[in-house]
């Protein structure tokens, strides 16, 4: 029985990892760039939204779209300043370092906006309930449904709409897509906005269950999302989705059996093992082959 | 139609294209030939904007396109195929066409409709293009799973999908046997019938001599001859360039 309870907790956590990993994976898929500032841009979005909420005293219904808006705007900011200027083959290292610089910058701004170590976050007041000896927190159950629903919409958008097809074409080969008339710069910007919306939803879900936000939230998002994506598969959306759930499950079990200290140790041990055995992640592309084929000259 | 005026491109110290000028008239098929490394592919890449020209002017229908970004050049009516096949391998055949399909200017649907709307109407258009290219039965297959010849045909179909006025073919016959070359020749003539203008870069002389109206010969990035296929075959400079005489 307790195994089932732990697994459920793990999946509940994992579903928000999945959303963040999907955001990472979109950006990596389209640009082949790792955005280290992703978590921080979400934290900044949340911080600005909280500040607006304090000033205007708005209800939670309006608070959610404000979070999503500022998360996507801060993501766009990151794209404009650290990915758009370095969108060439030589820009891989430069863009990663500038994303690190922007990470520090955004964290600093966020801590100015939220000066306390912890800051309360509006939560959805739903009570815990019990089914056949298993305990469910109402808000967490809601979270997992929202996370699955949003992922399903994302998959529909990516596989069924023209925007999704163009996005996949750019991911396949940006140079060719450009020559077929796709505005790749616009696609890049929209992808960052989309990643911001996904991350914003994830951030809201996580923070409202915790009902508080700390300055470390940005770092937490970056680490969990990045690890979930790397485990699931680089550049694979399905991989990112399952990677998040798997990470949540493993963390829950290891921290239950070996103590809470092992939560983080597990995360990074799994990442290392996966990277050694399958560098592209469990469901990902062969990353060496992939990068080579992208470098072919026209 | 296409006017190239004194364009040049240097890579490091190498003059890949040097002060090149030629015109392509509407509805014409022009061949661009020359020994390896003579700047043919570079010329095509300059026309469609893979990299910018160092100097000179390229205009299509009197519109100067030398400084336009690549996707706007496509919108102004230029489209191309590639020397090494560059399909979107993870997409299906019809999705490959869909990427390139441009919005009709007479339809006043916004980008929301274009990007998230119903794809039924577009699927019919895509089907039409695929049937025209002899790929009607491969509609749902993954592009990476097509045979070599089919992939070449799909590239051509994708190039047509953006409704170009000028189509640039970069060695379309590379790796083809003589039957396939004959088929390709027919397809290029079909393009002409549709009213398209074609610039053909090719090494396979069997194709070039039998399909083009006019030939431009390059060597070391410079134009060394221009004229009808017969004239070119008898041109001393061209023979020298190909046979390596000094």
Q: What is the ipTM of this complex?
A: 0.87
- Residue B12 pLDDT > 60: yes
The C-alpha of A232 sits at a distance from chain B's nearest C-alpha, in angstroms, of: 19
CB contact under 8 A, B90 and A176: no
Residues of A in contact with B114 (CB under 8 A): 162
CB contact under 8 A, B90 and A168: yes
Give yes or no for a contact between A252 and A7, defined as CB atoms under 8 angstroms apart. Answer: yes
Sign of the Cα pseudo-torsion (A180, A181, A182, A185, in order) = positive
Say what the pLDDT of residue A49 is.
93
Residues of B in contact with A183 (CB under 8 A): 71
The 10s digit of each residue's pLDDT in B184-209 is 999 999 999 999 999 999 988 889 99
pLDDT < 70 regions, chain A: 285-298
Question: Where does residue B213 rank: exposed (0-12), middle (13-18), buried (19+ CB within 10 A)?
Answer: middle
CB contact under 8 A, B91 and A168: yes
Say what the pLDDT of residue B75 is.
87
Q: Which A residues, 92 through 131, put their C-beta within 8 Å of a C-beta on chain B?
A: none
The 10s digit of each residue's pLDDT in B113-160 is 666 665 677 788 889 999 999 898 998 999 989 998 899 999 999 999
Residues of A in contact with B80 (CB under 8 A): 179
For B111, the closest chain A residue by CA position comes to A163
Cα–Cα nearest to B206, from B236, B225, B169, B233: B233
For residue A71, give every residue at least 6 positions away whose Cβ sits within 8 Å of its Cβ, in sequence order, or none.
A41, A42, A45, A46, A49, A196, A197, A199, A200, A203
A146 touches B at CB < 8 Å: no
Cα–Cα nearest to B221, from B58, B1, B36, B69: B36
Axis crossing angle, helix B120-132 with helix B148-161, rounded to the nearest 10: 130
Give yes or no for a contact between A285 and A229, defined as CB atoms under 8 angstroms apart. Answer: no
For A184, the closest chain B residue by CA position comes to B71
pLDDT band at residue B106 under the 50/70/90 scheme? very low
Say what the pLDDT of residue A241 is.
92
The C-alpha of B170 sits at a distance from chain A's nearest C-alpha, in angstroms, of: 10
- Residue B29 pLDDT > 90: yes
Cα–Cα nearest to A43, from A85, A10, A13, A78: A78
For B123, the closest chain A residue by CA position comes to A162
The C-alpha of B80 sits at a distance from chain A's nearest C-alpha, in angstroms, of: 8
Residue B49 backbone dihedrals phi, psi, to 5 degrees: 90, 25
Residues of B in contact with A180 (CB under 8 A): 74, 79, 99-100, 158, 162
CA dist B145 → A295, B140, B205 (Å): 22, 11, 30
The C-alpha of B236 sits at a distance from chain A's nearest C-alpha, in angstroms, of: 32
A32 touches B at CB < 8 Å: no
The C-alpha of A235 sits at a distance from chain B's nearest C-alpha, in angstroms, of: 12
Residues of B in contact with A175 (CB under 8 A): 50, 86
- 3-class secondary-structure state, position A97: helix
- First vs last C-alpha separation in chain A: 59
- Tell me the two tokens of residue A52: 């607006």
- The beta-carbon neighbor of A180 closest among B49, B115, B162 is B162
The C-alpha of A298 sits at a distance from chain B's nearest C-alpha, in angstroms, of: 7
Residues of A in contact with B116 (CB under 8 A): 157, 161-163
Q: Chains A and B: how many Cβ contacts under 8 Å? A: 74
Query: Domains (ranges, CATH) in chain B?
Result: 2-86+156-243 (3.40.50.300)
Residues of B in contact with A158 (CB under 8 A): none
Query: Domains (ranges, CATH) in chain A?
Result: 2-124+137-294 (1.10.3470)
Rounded Cα distance between A198 and A16, Å, is 10
CB contact under 8 A, A165 and B89: no
Say what the pLDDT of residue B216 is.
94
Say what the pLDDT of residue A13 is.
86
A177 touches B at CB < 8 Å: yes
The C-alpha of B139 sits at a distance from chain A's nearest C-alpha, in angstroms, of: 15
Interface test with B, best of A180, A283, A290 (most B CBs within 10 A): A180
């Amino acid at each position: 029985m307790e195994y089932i309870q732990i697994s459920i907790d793990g999946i509940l956590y994992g579903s928000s990892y999945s959303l963040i990993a999907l955001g990472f994976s979109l950006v990596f898929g389209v640009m082949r760039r790792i955005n280290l500032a992703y978590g921080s841009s979400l934290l900044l979005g949340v911080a600005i939204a909280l500040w607006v909420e304090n000033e205007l005293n708005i209800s939670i219904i309006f608070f959610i779209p404000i979070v999503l808006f500022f998360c996507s705007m801060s993501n766009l900011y990151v794209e404009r300043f650290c990915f758009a200027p370095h969108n060439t083959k030589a820009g891989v290292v430069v863009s990663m370092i500038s994303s690190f610089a922007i990470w520090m910058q955004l964290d600093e701004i966020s801590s100015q906006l939220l000066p306390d170590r912890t800051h309360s976050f509006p939560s959805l007041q739903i009570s815990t309930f019990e089914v056949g000896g298993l305990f469910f927190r109402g808000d967490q159950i809601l979270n997992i449904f929202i996370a699955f629903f949003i992922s399903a919409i994302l998959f529909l958008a990516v596989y069924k709409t023209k925007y999704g097809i163009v996005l996949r074409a750019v991911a396949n080969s940006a140079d060719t897509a450009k020559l077929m008339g796709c505005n790749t710069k616009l696609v890049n910007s929209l992808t960052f906005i989309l990643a911001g919306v996904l991350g914003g939803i994830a951030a809201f879900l996580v923070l409202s269950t915790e009902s508080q936000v700390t300055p470390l939230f940005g770092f937490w998002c970056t680490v969990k999302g990045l690890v979930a994506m790397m485990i699931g598969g680089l550049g694979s959306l399905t991989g990112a989705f399952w990677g998040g759930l798997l990470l949540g499950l493993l963390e829950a079990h290891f921290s239950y059996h070996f103590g809470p200290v092992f939560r983080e140790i597990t995360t990074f041990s799994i990442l290392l093992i996966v990277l050694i055995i399958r560098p592209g992640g469990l469901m990902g592309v062969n990353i060496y082959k992939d990068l080579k084929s992208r470098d072919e000259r026209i | 139609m296409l006017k190239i005026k004194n364009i040049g491109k240097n890579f490091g110290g190498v003059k890949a294209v040097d002060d090149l000028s030629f015109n392509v008239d509407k509805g014409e098929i022009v061949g661009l030939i020359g020994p390896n490394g003579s700047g043919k592919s570079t010329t095509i890449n300059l026309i469609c904007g893979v990299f910018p020209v160092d100097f000179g002017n390229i205009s299509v229908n009197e519109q100067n396109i030398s400084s336009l970004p690549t996707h706007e050049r496509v919108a102004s009516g230029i489209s191309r195929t590639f020397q090494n096949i560059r399909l979107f391998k993870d997409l299906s055949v019809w999705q490959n066409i869909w990427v390139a399909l441009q919005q009709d200017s007479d339809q006043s649907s916004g980008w929301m409709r274009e990007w998230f709307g119903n794809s039924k109407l577009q699927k019919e258009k895509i089907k039409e293009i695929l049937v025209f290219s002899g790929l009607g039965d491969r509609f749902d297959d993954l592009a990476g799973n097509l045979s070599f010849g089919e992939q070449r045909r799909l590239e051509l179909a994708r190039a047509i999908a953006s409704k170009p006025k000028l189509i640039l073919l970069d060695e379309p016959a590379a790796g083809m046997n003589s039957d396939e070359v004959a088929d390709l020749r027919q397809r290029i003539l079909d393009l002409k019938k549709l009213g398209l203008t074609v610039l053909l870069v090719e090494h396979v002389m069997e194709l070039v001599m039998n399909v083009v109206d006019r030939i431009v010969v390059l060597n070391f990035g410079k134009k060394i001859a221009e004229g009808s296929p017969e004239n070119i075959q008898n041109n001393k400079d061209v023979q020298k360039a190909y046979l390596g005489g000094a």
